[in-house]
Amino acid sequence: MSAQLLDGKLMSDELRVRIAERVALLKEKGVQPGLAVILVGEDPASQIYVRNKEKGCEQVGMHSVAIRLPENTTQAELEGHIRALNADASIHGILVQLPLPKHLDEAAALAVIVPEKDVDGFHVQNAGKLMSGLPGVVACTPKGAMEMIRRTGVNLSGKEAVVVGRSNIVGKPMAMLLLQQNCTVTMCHSRTADLAAHTRRADVLVAAVGKAKFITADMVKPGAIVIDVGINRNAEGKVVGDVDFDAVKEVAGWITPVPGGVGRMTITMLLENTVEAAERAALNK
């Protein structure tokens, strides 16, 4: 292996110690940071994510509530739960696990969360702030990916960054964050012509596609920073990323593993966003 491993577990362990210290400080002031997660339906992957979020909260001493709702929940019921959490002073962060069942309106539900408790950074107010370069809550996966990139020590100014995937959750905010670091950013997606011609120019390559082994070694520039956001299951049921790790690690300069990479950092950033929301709430009390 020539690439250096960007170990999300190691980085998270270190960051979570600092988050736990901030939680302890708030508790001394009578505030226990609280995160509420709403999960609608029975999606197995979402159930695992929600369980990991609860475990993360426990680890740093945060209060956590998981509201598990049946598949046939109505929009009005979902929004009712969000409004109750908006008004609950023991809750500083609200997360609606995505994707929602098809009959529910995701954008409408996210708009109901008060922006101060939007620890996912998905509310249009927070997404708009990121776009405008204003301080606000930054979505957890791109925030975690940027922290991993920062830890390479590479100066990003003027570097070519290629983001594959254009979702609101990852691709778009990731592109904005890379742009803020003065990268020249290219966004690729399912309609991109000659994808490999773009990815081969990337000093920083972010794969957020949702297809196992989609990024092959011939698509990667030697020495590149390769960030794998994918969480897929292969034919044997094993969790694998969007990057063909075994082959790409021989070409890249740095690479994130799956599991133990970006996914772990996403939860760490969620904990960080929640403690920050609690600190803001404590200041305004």
Q: How far is the CB of 157 from ligand GUN (least distance, A)?
A: 28
List CB contacts of 18: < 8 A, sequence separation 6 or more: none
Q: Determine if residue 223 is left, alpha or beta; phi over 0 gives left, psi from -120 to 50 gives alpha, anything else beta.
A: left
List 98, 114, 154, 179, residue binding ligand GUN (CB under 6 A): 98
Count of residues interacting with ligand GUN (CB under 6 A) = 9
- 32 catalytic, yes or no? no
Q: What whole-number distance in Å separates Cα of residue 280 and Cα of residue 116?
A: 9
User: 243 or 270: whose CB is closer to ligand GUN?
Assistant: 270
Active-site residue identified among 118, 120, 203, 228: 120
Cβ 200 vs Cβ 223: under 8 Å: no
Letter for the amino acid at 249?
K
What is the sign of the dihedral through the CA atoms of 248, 250, 150 and 64?
positive
List 23, 39, 140, 229, residue binding ligand GUN (CB under 6 A): 140
Residue 165-194 contact track with ligand GUN, rule CB under 6 A, x = bound: ----x-------------------------
Site membership for ligand GUN, residue 57 (CB under 6 A)? no
Q: 89: exposed, middle or buried (C-beta count within 10 Å: 0-12, 13-18, 19+)?
A: exposed
Please give the helix or strand (H or E) that residue 81 lies within, else none. helix 75-86
Q: How far is the CB of 88 from ligand GUN (least distance, A)?
A: 18
Residue 108-127 contact track with ligand GUN, rule CB under 6 A, x = bound: ------------x-------
Which residues of the chain form contacts with ligand GUN (CB under 6 A)?
95-98, 120, 140-141, 169, 266
Enzyme catalytic residues: 53, 97, 120
